[in-house]
Each structure stands twice: as structure tokens, then as C-alpha cells.
Chain A
Amino acid sequence: MALVSLRNVSKVYPPASKGAPSVTAIDSVSLDVEAGDIYGIIGYSGAGKSTLVRLVNALEHSTSGEIIVDGQNIAVLPERDLRKVRLGIGMIFQQFNLLGSRTVARNVAYPLEVAGRPKHERAARVAELLDFVGLSDKAGSFPDQLSGGQKQRVGIARALATQPSILLADEATSALDPETTHEVLALLKRVNAEFGITIIVITHEMDVIQTIATKVAVMDQGRVIERGPVFDVFSNPQAAASARFVSTVVKGIPSPAELAVLRERHTGRIVTLAFRDSAVDQKAVFGEFSRAGVAFEVVYGGINEIQGRPFGHLTLALTGADPVIDQVLAHIRTLTTVTEVR
């Protein structure tokens, strides 16, 4: 049984004015998040990903469908009961959303106050959390005295205060610079590894997915258009939108414009080879070229690694007699996917 399970969930906003069409933000989405996953949900602005994650802790209410969190359909729960459910789900935000009137320590203590924990217990837990996020020395500071990365670490400490089993991260690194982004992502990875907390990450940056997610769902216009283990989606994206996202972090197949430039420099035949995992032995492939006496030059591509597994595409410009090249390519086709580009 998945920890979070969406069944045909839709969210329709009523028309903004009379006569205007209603807006379908989420269009019958089904999704299963297993305990221990770091589940990435990626999409462009307006794809519905933020709305989707806000349905999981009922900050917004679905129009139809079931939202099962830890075995309980929260779509039918009244607001009073939802407050208890939310204690078990932490959330961090793009704009951090810390309380400016409270110190760092009192921000982290806030969920504990809501949960009605006694004062001495709160103090101990806050100290423990600030130590975990490395901000013990900032306990007495106010949020406006912190950097963006520090604010998000306070946000994470606050979200973890009540020991939730699920953490929702809504564009948690989108307001941060690349270096700070990686610090925060590393911290989220620790949260997952050390406490076994299931994390749902919303982002528009494929880099974030590549760095921490184990599974990914690609959203477009309120629908999930592709999903699967991150390695599978990265190495072999099916939907066009997924391929566009993948191409933002993985240099794979040259675009038509890039190909035109390559063509100017190389008059011979150009082929793209796919490498995926250890299933394809690069040494064997390149050995075939050497044996046949076909010279090659790598002109485009890259090999990436997701969760320790390499994959990628290499585009080669070949020099040699046509029949020989045909023969070699026939051999290599038995080893991997070969695409001749013209």
C-alpha cells in the first residue's frame, strides 16, 4: 500500500467571472508515492504541480477523486480532522514563509505549540532540529537576518518538528542560487536517509530531480504525462515535454540547429549511439570501429550518471568507405540503438 495515493483526482476552479470558462488545474491524476521515496514532480509554470502537492495536505480541496494518505482518504475529512493529519505532513515553500515576528527557535517551535507539546519538550526538540540543520548559533536570530539558504534550513527544521512521515517541498530551491540549492538538496537527502521521511518534491528544474529524486512524474496541463524511476525517464523519455526537460540537464541528441553546424564541419556520415547502463559496453562498440578501420570523431553528446548508473548519447562523425561503415553499423546495431542523422 502506497503511503500517498491519488486516485483520479481533479481540481477545477470555478470561473473567475460570469461567462468565463472554469479552470481545470488537475485533470484526473492518479499517482502512488511509496514510503521512503523521494518523488519528484516536474512541470512548467501552470502545469498544476503546486496545486497537486497542496491537495496532499489539503491546503486546497480536490473537486473529485480520492487522496489516500497513510490509509485514510483525506478528501472526505472535515477541516477539524485535517488539522491532525497535517501534523504528520511537513511542508516547505519557495518563499520559506517563516514568521518574521518570531526568532528562528520560535519558528521551529511553532508546530510543536500547535501540537500542544509541553514547553520543556519543545525546547529540547528545537535544539535537536537546529543542530540537525546546522543553525544552532542562529536560534535567537530573526528570519530577516538570515540568508536564503539559512531561511530554507529553518523551514526544513520547522517542517520536521512534529516528526512527520511525509515532507512536501513546493519549489523549495527555486529562490536559491545553484550552490545553496545543492546544500538544501543535500539536506533533504539526509532527511530522507536518516529519518526515512518520504519526500514529494515539486520543481521546474530537472537538475533538482536528477540530484535527489528516485522517481519522477512529469506534469503538463494538469495531467501526469509520464512517470517512472528517474533513471528510466532520463535515459529514455517518452513524452515530448519530458524530453525537453531531460535535455535541460543532459546533452543528448543534437537539435536541428546544432546539427546544421555539425554538417558544415563534417561531410561524412553522422550517427548517434545510445548508451544505457552497463547493458551497453562502450569498449565493444568502439572496438568494432577500430577493427573495421573506420575512423570516428565524437562531435556531440555526453554520458551522465543517475543514481550511480551511467547513460547518454554520443554522436560520431565517421570517415571511411560506405559499404564498410554499413557493415560496422550492422554489427553495432546488435549491441545498441544506432540512429543515422542526416
Chain B
Amino acid sequence: MDALIDLLPELWTATYETLYIVAMTLFFGGLGGLLVGLGLYLTRAGSILENKPLFFVLNLLVNFIRPIPFIIFLAAAQPLARAVTGSGIGNNAIIFTIALAASFAMARIVEQNLLTVTPGVIDAARSVGAGPIRIIFTVLLPEALGPLILGYTFIFVALVDMSAVAGYVGGGGLGNFALLYGYRQFNPIVTWAAVLLIIVLVQFVQFFGNYLARKALRR
């Protein structure tokens, strides 16, 4: 317990780092997932921008990247992270890698949520002369907003999960904190402090996500 009190400044720093990594990856990964998910949805057979080759490539890419365990993906994508962020280690490298992995995971969720929009409302929009871009912003995204918010809440938890291994490539955060000061120094109390903080964080975000989704669905 005394050890934990001594480590409090490090704990707060780690919490801040986790929040930072998760926020950044939620933004970039979320955006990437939205784009790839929209791409999957729009290019599939029978959709408004049907494009079989593009759909095939996107679909293959998503299926290819999604099943790779993240810690392996982290190692495999390190050269790419180095090329893009200038360094293969540290918080920026981990943010890049998580955002990349999350894009493809999120893409599936976005695609599935968009598929719940009744094709009829897209017909209705087309019948009054709306083009694809307008349909995306005035029909698809607003109509699927509730499920999309829940999808992003779901991916948030996955981001917290992925961020925990940041310590392996010299990043920070609560995962690194638990490993470094709890696990390696045989101090379960320190580990559990990190666990507790993560539970609180996830609960809070889940609650907030549910609230927003309820508002969007007006239920």
C-alpha cells in the first residue's frame, strides 16, 4: 500500500497517457474506420456506388488485418510506424499502430451498422434527386447514428485493451504502469490500482455512450 502511495504521481501520469493514447486513436482510428466502413458499404453489390474490385480489395484488407493479435501486429507494423511517425517506439508510434488496427476493426462495425438502414430510405432520397455525398451525410449517417455511437463505445474498450501493451514499444499508460510497478515488482496492489482505474474509465465511457445513443434513437 505504501508503495502505491509513493507511486501516485506515476499513476496519474500513466492515467493521463492512457487517456491521451485512447483519445488520439479513437479520433484517427474512428475516422479511418468510418471511411473504410463507408467504402465497404457503398461499393458492395447493389449499393449506390457499387464497385466490385474496390469492394473486394477493401474486404480482403479488413479480413486480413483484423484477426492478427494486436501484439504481433504491433511488431509487424513497426517499420511502417517508423516511416510515418519518425520513430518505431514511443507514444506516437503506438498511437499510429493502434489507430491503424482500430480502423479495420471499426470498419466492420460501421459497415454492419450502415446495413441496418432500410434500403427504402435511400431509394426515397434518390427519388428526390439526392446524390451519393448528400445521401451519406443526410441519410446514411443520421439514420445509423444510434448504433454507430454504440459501435464507437464498443471500440473504445478495444482501444483501452490495445493501449495496454504500449509499454512493449516504449510507450506509457496504465498497462505499462501495471507491468512495470505491479507485475515485475511482485506488488499486486499496484496492479489492481491500475485495473480499478481502467474499470472506472470504461464504465464511465460506456455509460456516456449509452446516453448519447439513447438520445440519438430518442428512446
Contact = CB atoms under 8 A, between A and B. Distances in A.
B71 interface: no
B134 interface: yes
Interface in A6-20: none
A264 B218 CA distance: 64
Interface string B124-153: 111111110010001100110100000000
Nearest to A93: B120
A115 B129 CA distance: 8
Interface of B: 118, 120-121, 123-131, 134, 138-139, 142-143, 145, 216, 218
A91 B129 contact: no
Interface string A260-278: 0000000000000000000
Nearest to B126: A59
A113 B142 CA distance: 16
Given A114-B130, A115-B128, 12 more contacts: A59-B126, A84-B129, A86-B128, A93-B120, A93-B124, A99-B124, A99-B139, A99-B142, A100-B143, A110-B138, A114-B129, A115-B129
Contacts of A115: 128-129
A110 B127 CA distance: 11
Contacts, number: 71
Given A87-B128, A142-B218, A59 B138 contact: no
B139 A89 contact: no
A189 interface: no
Contact of B130 (A80, A83, A142): A83
Contacts of A159: 127
B129 A87 contact: yes
A148 interface: no
Given A93-B120, A97-B118, A99-B121, A57 B139 contact: no
A55 B94 CA distance: 52
Contacts of A83: 129-131
Nearest to B117: A100
B120 A97 contact: yes
Contacts of B121: 97-100
Nearest to A84: B129
A102 interface: yes
For the complex of A and B, 10 pairs with smallest distance between CB atoms: A111-B128, A97-B124, A97-B120, A83-B129, A101-B142, A91-B127, A86-B129, A87-B129, A97-B121, A114-B130
Interface residues of A, number: 33
A64 B118 CA distance: 29
A84 B131 CA distance: 11
Contacts of A93: 120, 123-124
Nearest to B48: A79
A97 B138 CA distance: 14
Contacts of A136: none
B134 A114 contact: yes
Contacts of B218: 142, 144
A100 B141 CA distance: 12
Nearest to A164: B128
A162 interface: yes
A336 to B, nearest CB: 47
Interface in A56-99: 57, 59, 79-80, 82-87, 89-91, 93, 95, 97-99
B213 to A, nearest CB: 13
B125 A101 contact: no
B143 A99 contact: yes
B123 A59 contact: yes
A114 B126 CA distance: 10
Contacts of B120: 93, 95, 97
9 contacts: A95-B118, A98-B121, A99-B121, A99-B139, A99-B142, A111-B129, A115-B128, A115-B129, A144-B218
A34 B64 CA distance: 56
B18 to A, nearest CB: 34
